Amino acid sequence: MLRIAICCGEGFASGFLSRHLAEATVREKLQDEVTFIFIPYFQLYERQDEVDIAMALPHIEPQIKSDKKEYKIPIYIITFKVVIKPTAREYMEDAEDILKLADGKGGLICFPGEERFQFVNRFVSHRRWEASQK
C-alpha cells in the first residue's frame, strides 16, 4: 500500500485535495493500492514515518526549499496543471515514479525537466505525458 501525504501551509487546500483524492480512490477502485492523508507541512517532519512520500501544493515551494531539516521521504511539488484535474491513479503514478527517482533519498525531488514546476504544462501524470510524447 502506497501512503501519500498531501501537504500545504495551513491545510485548507491540501485538506480539500486529500479528501477529494481519498474519495477518488474509492471511485477508481484503488483502495488496496494507495491511501491519501492530509498532513500540514509544519507537521510533516514529525509525521514522516506515517507515509512513503509527501506531495505538496505549489504555493509552499519557497517554504520547502528553505527548510533545513533532513527528510527520510521524498517531497514532490505538485504542478499547477495537475492540481486542476486530479485523479487518484495519476497522483499514485507520479508518487511511484518519484519514489523510483528518489532511490531511497529524502527531501525535494522533481522529474527531470520539471525543476521549474510553475512552467509545467501537463494535465496528466508524468509517465502518461512521456508516453504521449513518443
Q: Write the CATH number for 109.
A: 3.40.50.2300
CB atoms within 10 A of CB 4: 27
Percent of the chain scoring above 70 in pLDDT:
96
Amino acid identity for residue 116 in this structure = R
Is 83 a residue whose pLDDT tops 80? no
Is 31 a residue whose pLDDT tops 90? yes
Residue whose C-alpha cell is 486529500: 18
Contacts of 56-61 spanning 24+ positions with Cβ under 8 A: 56/6, 56/7, 56/8, 56/14, 57/6, 57/7, 57/8, 57/13, 57/14, 57/17, 57/83, 58/83, 58/117, 58/118, 59/8, 59/9, 59/13, 60/7, 60/8, 60/9, 61/117
CA-CA-CA-CA dihedral for 111, 58, 90, 30, to nearest 10: 130
Residue whose C-alpha cell is 511511484: 96
b/e per residue, 15-36, with b = 16+ CB within 10 A?
eebbeebbebbeebebeeebbb
What's the pLDDT at 89? 96
Domain with 41 in it: 2-132
Q: Which of 12-16, 28-32, 41-45, 99-103 has the lowest mean pLDDT?
A: 12-16
**pTM higher than the cut 0.85:** yes
Provide the number of structural domains found in the chain: 1
Per the prediction, the chain carries an average pLDDT of: 92
Q: How confident is the model at residue 11 (pLDDT cuts 50, 70, 90)?
A: low
